[in-house]
Chains A and B, each alone.
Chain A
Amino acid sequence: MSVWIETDLCNGCKRCIKACPYDAIEMRGEKAFILERCTSCGSCISVCKQEAVKTDAVPRTIPDFSDWKGIWVFAEQRDGELLRVSLELLGKAKELGGELEQGVSAVILGKGIERLCDTLIRFGADTVHLVENESLRLYRTAAYTKVLARLVQQFRPSVLLMGATHLGRDLAPRLSRRIGVGLTADCTELSIDKTEKILLQTRPAFGGNVMATIANRYSRPQMATVRPGVMKTSEIPGQAGEVVCHDFKVEEKEIGTKVLELVREKKKKTDLSESNIIVAGGRGVGDRKGFVLLEELAELMGGELAGTRVAVEEGWISQDRQVGQTGHSVRPELYVACGISGAIQHRAGMMNSRYVAAINKDPRAPIFQVADWGIVGDLHEVVPEIIKQLKTGSWNKQQRGGGD
C-alpha cells in the first residue's frame, strides 16, 4: 500500500501538509511532496480538494459495534486500599458515559475487598463487578487477565480504562492482546468524537515533544491506560449503584507465577498527586542548598517539594519527587516553578496545574509561556523575599495597589 501525489493535479494549497500527523509532506517548488517517513496513513487523502492524493489501499470497513455498550473502569486495589487513580478514572468515565448516554461500571478483583464497592459507587460507578477469591488476592498477570477477559467478553463494554500504574501497564497490554483489541498507553486526555461516537485518546509521544490523538476504530472495547494524577475525582452525592459478584476460579497451574515475597517500602510518604501546592526546582536552583530554601517555602505554604529530571540526576532531590514525562504527573492548585526552564518533558508533567507561578533569570525561558504569573529574577533573591514577607505579613504594605 502506498500514497502518492499526482503532481499535475496539485495546486500547492498545503492542506495535506497540515493534515499529516507525521510531518511527512513538504513543499518542493509549488507542489506537495511526500517524504520517505510517510506511513501511508491516508490522512491527506480526504483533505485534498484537487483529489491529487492517490492511494492503492482498499478502504477498510469499520465493523458494527452497536451492541458494545458501557464505560468500564478497572479499579486497582493494593493491600485492600483503592488507588486514587481508580477514582480519577471513574470521574472521567462518568463524563464520557454522559456524552454517550451509557452507564459506568467498575470492575475490581481481589480478596476481602467487598467494602471498597461502596466507594466506587460514590465516585461514579452505576455497577460494580466484584470478583473475589484467593487466587486473586495478590496481583498476578495470568490470573487477572483470565478473569477480565471473561468479564469483557460476557458484558461487551464499549470502553475499558485502567490506570497507567506498574500493575496497569503489566495487565492492560496482556489483556488487549488476549481479547484482540487495540490499546493506547498513558493517556492524559480522553474525549468523545461527536460524529463517530468513538473515544479519542490523547497522549504525549516522542518523549513528550508532541501530543498525539489516537482512535481505536476497529476493535472493542476501546482500551486505554491513563496516567495517574491527570484526571479529577468527583464524588457524586446520592449516587446509587449495584454490586454484582462473580465467581471465577483460576487454577494455580494456569497462572505459572508465584509471588515469593512482597516488600512495601515504608518511607516518608510523598504523594505529589495529593498535594494542593507544589514548589518545584530545576537546574537554576544550583545545588542541594538551594533546595533547602525551596523546602522552607514549600513547608510555609503547606505544600510539597518537587524537582525536574536534572535536579534528580544531580542528586539534589529524590526520584520520587520528580515531576515530568519520566516522573509524576501532578495537578495541584498552585505550582511554583523555581529555576526551571520548562523543557517540554517537564511541562508534560505539570501543565494540568490550576495556577502556575514561575521564577527564572532568563526572560525567554519557555516556563513563562505556561505560567499565570512570572517573575524574571534570581530565585536566590526572590524566594527568600517571598518567605520573609509570608512570615511577617509585610507583603500587604509592599503592595500599594492592594491585593484583594
Chain B
Amino acid sequence: MKQMQIIVLVKQVPDTTEVRLDPKTGNLIREGVKSIVNPDDRNAVEAAVSLKEKYGAKITVLSMGPPQAIDAVSEALGMGADKGILLSDRAFAGADTWATSGTLGKAIKKLGDFDLIIAGRQAIDGDTAQIGPQVAEYLDVTQATYVCGIDEVRPDAIVVKRRLEDGIERLELRLPALLTVVGELNRPRYPFVGRLLDACREKAPIEVWNAADLGFKTADVGLEGSLTHVVRTFSPKSKRQSEMLEGSARDAAASLIGKILNKKLLRETV
C-alpha cells in the first residue's frame, strides 16, 4: 500500500467561552479574546497523527483565515502534521459555508490525491457543522459525521463509529472519505515543543495561498461568493418583567407556589 495521504482541516477561532458582552450597549466585546485552535479540530489532528503512527501517513493541515491563523497551522505541525497550507486573502473575508467549502475544496484539489480528510465536527464560533459535508460533496467522496471511533483502515475502505443521539452506528466507507470527529474520539496530545519551535521558524513547511494562487476571482469567494448573508445581529433580549419575590425563604417559597398554581402550571393536589 502506498503511503496514506491525510488532510486535516483546522480553524482558528476566538475562545467563545471567554467572550463577554458590554453591559451598557449589549454588544460583544471582541477585543482581548484569545484565539485558539477549534477544540474539535484538535481531535481531528490527533486522529490523523494516531493513524500516521499506526499505518504510516503524510499529514497536510489546511486552514483558511487571517494571517495570524498560521498559529493554528503551526500548532498542528507541533502535534505531528508534516505540512501546512494557510489560505489567506482579504477576498476570503465574510465567506459563508458555501464560499468557504468551495475555497477549501479547490485548495484540496490543488494538493492532489488524498485518502482521507479529517475535520472537527463544528467550530465553536459558527457552530454550523456544515463545512465537512460540503467539502465532501465538492470533492465527491464519502462522508461520516460525528465520528467517535476509527476501527480499521484498509487500502480501499475505512470502518468508523458514528455517534447518534440515541446510540452508535458502525459504518464502512469507501475511500477516499471525509470524517468529522467529536471530542470523545480521543484526547489530543500537546504540541511537542521542539516541533512547535520548528513550525514557527521561517523554513517551516507552511505555505500561504491567496485567491489568485487558487485561480479565483474576487467574486467567487468571500462575501461576494456567498449565498447567505447576515441581515442583522442582536443580543438575545428577554421580554420578561422579572418580579422579585421578597421575604424569608418561607414567604418567598409560598409566593412562588402561589404564582405557579395561579398560572395553572401544576395540579393543586401535588
Contact = CB atoms under 8 A, between A and B. Distances in A.
Chain A contact surface mostly: mixed
Interface in B229-245: 229-236, 238, 240-245
Interface in A357-393: 357-358, 368-378, 381-382, 385-386, 389-391
A174 B236 contact: no
Contacts of A373: 242-245, 255-256, 259
A178 B137 contact: yes
Contacts of A301: 266, 270
A334 B270 CA distance: 16
B130 interface: yes
A16 B130 CA distance: 31
Contact of B244 (A57, A263, A375, A390): A375
Counting chain A CB atoms within 10 Å of each CB, the highest count among B138, B165, B231 belongs to: B231
Nearest to B265: A334
Given A214-B228, A264-B166, A356-B240, A21 B233 contact: yes
A207 B243 CA distance: 29
A39 B253 contact: no
Interface in B90-142: 91, 93-94, 96-98, 101, 124-134, 136-138, 142
Interface stretch (A100-108, A129-137, A252-260): A252-260
A336 to B, nearest CB: 9
Q: Give the interface size class of chain A.
A: 35 or more
A357 to B, nearest CB: 6
Interface stretch (B70-78, B170-178, B194-202): B170-178
Contact of B258 (A165, A200, A368, A403): A403
A382 B249 contact: yes
Given A41-B223, A260-B170, A403 B236 contact: no
Contacts of B265: 276-277, 333-334, 355
B16 interface: yes
B261 A182 contact: no
Given A169-B145, A375-B256, A403-B262, A182 B98 contact: yes
Interface string A68-109: 000000000010000000000000000000000000000000
A259 B171 contact: yes
Contacts of B215: none
A178 B164 CA distance: 24
B236 A41 contact: no
A395 B257 contact: yes
A345 B27 CA distance: 15
B91 to A, nearest CB: 8
A22 interface: yes
Contact of B133 (A41, A173, A371): A173
B187 interface: no
Nearest to A347: B236
A185 B127 contact: yes
Contacts of A23: 27-28, 30
Contacts of A351: 236, 238
Contact of A174 (B143, B168, B172): B143
A31 to B, nearest CB: 20
B186 interface: no
A65 interface: no
B240 A257 contact: no
Given A357-B256, A368-B242, A211 B231 contact: no
B226 interface: yes
A182 B226 contact: yes
Contacts of B101: 173, 177
Interface string B1-32: 00000000000001011010100000110100
B227 interface: yes
Contact of B236 (A145, A182, A204, A377): A204
Contact of B228 (A178, A215, A276): A215
B238 A177 contact: no
A399 B254 contact: yes
Nearest to A215: B231
A359 to B, nearest CB: 8
B193 interface: no
B235 A399 contact: no
B227 A218 contact: yes
Nearest to B161: A261
Contact of B174 (A60, A212, A257): A257
A192 to B, nearest CB: 13
Contact of A262 (B145, B167, B172, B230): B167
Given A173-B134, A207-B17, A214-B230, A258 B171 contact: yes
Nearest to B92: A39
10 contacts: A21-B231, A23-B27, A177-B98, A206-B19, A215-B229, A264-B164, A277-B265, A357-B260, A374-B243, A374-B245
Across chains A and B, which 10 residue pairs bring their CB atoms closest together, nearest first?
A207-B16, A39-B94, A182-B227, A403-B258, A398-B254, A182-B228, A177-B137, A185-B128, A173-B133, A385-B253
